[in-house]
Amino acid sequence: MYTPKLNLIETEHAITQIKREFEAQLSAALNLTRISAPLFVLKSSGLNDDLNGVERPVAFDIGATGETAEVVHSLAKWKRYALAKYRFGPRFGLYCDMNAIRRDETPDRLHSLYVDQWDWEVVITRGDRTRAFLCETVKKIYAALRETAEKICRLYPALDNFLDEEIGFVTTQQLEDMYPDRTPKERETAYVREHGATFIMQIGGKLNSGEKHDGRAPDYDDWELNGDIMLYYPVLDCAFELSSMGIRVDEKSLVRQLEAEHCTERLRLPFHKALAAGELPLTMGGGIGQSRLCMFLLNKQHIGEVQVSVWDRANEDDCKLHNIPLM
């Protein structure tokens, strides 16, 4: 029978410690300044993110203007506007708390309708748009995760530190070549179970098989220069996605990816017009799950142990059966 290593009050205190420590580590590593961020944006702006390309945002009408607003899915596109507005220079950037509702998510032990993450974005140069720079940044983020984990384990000795010493790198095409008969998720689990912490690169485009490893909206990440930070989580014996990040599209890759997805009409939207015209800075950025990180570092079995959300009957029954205390 599952027994949490920290009770509810200890868990709340530990969550505060994790967030405080990781924010300090991340902002120092990537030269980030914390700024305020929107909960919703106008639908007509084109600033909301499609994530995998099919998720429906929560939308509502604004009585004062008659326009439609959407609760953000993430802030990937909005952050590029903010970097220009605040006039950040190369290798400096911002981070913010992002809270979202993902209505089409299927709730389970790792997924919730409520999403909370650190969204970050950094101005880069044209010369930074390389795999080497992407991997260098991933290593900095992973070092910040390691520092945070070590401090939390010192504060709470009952916890296990499951983070590997270093993070490795693999492409989605390499995964398909290694495991041609498995699904993308099965490939991730098999690889991470054997190799530990891994940055899985190049997500969004078609593989040699003609299939995609996973969907990505065509108008924020460059599919050749992005990826997910995946950890092996022995508590659930699974691959554990902590972050999605990447170098963002420039003028050329924006048009190329919109054409690949047959949605070039987006070039008429304000964000896409500005980007195609070279009016926005070149950037890289991503999101790091706050509840995900807390779940991992606190050795929890369900994300509902570190955040308050709404759960279906199957999740409630599963937690009751396995003695998992939801918040």
Catalytic sites, residue numbers:
49, 102, 117, 228, 241, 244
Q: Which of 319, 287, 277, 326 is nearest to 304 (CA)?
A: 326
Say how many Å lie between the first and final Cα of the chain, rounded.
19
Burial classification of residue 243, based on how many CB atoms lie within 10 Å of its CB (0-12 exposed, 13-18 middle, 19 or more buried): buried
Residue at token pair 């190369």: 90
The amino acid that residue 167 corresponds to is: I
* Count of helix runs (H) and strand runs (E) in the chain: 9, 11
Q: Which of 247, 256, 219 is nearest to 123 (CA)?
A: 247
Confirm if 72 and 78 have CB atoms less than 8 A apart. yes
DSSP single-letter state for residue 318 = H
Q: Which residues pair with 146 in a beta bridge?
A: none
The Cα-based distances of 264 to 32, 248, 250 in angstroms read 33, 17, 15
Length of the chain: 327
Provide the angle, in degrees to the nearest 10, between the axes of the packed helices 131-155 and 290-297: 50
Confirm if 114 and 101 have CB atoms less than 8 A apart. yes
Report H helices in the chain. 8-30, 76-86, 131-155, 172-178, 184-195, 251-260, 270-276, 290-297, 313-321
Report H helices in 31-75. none
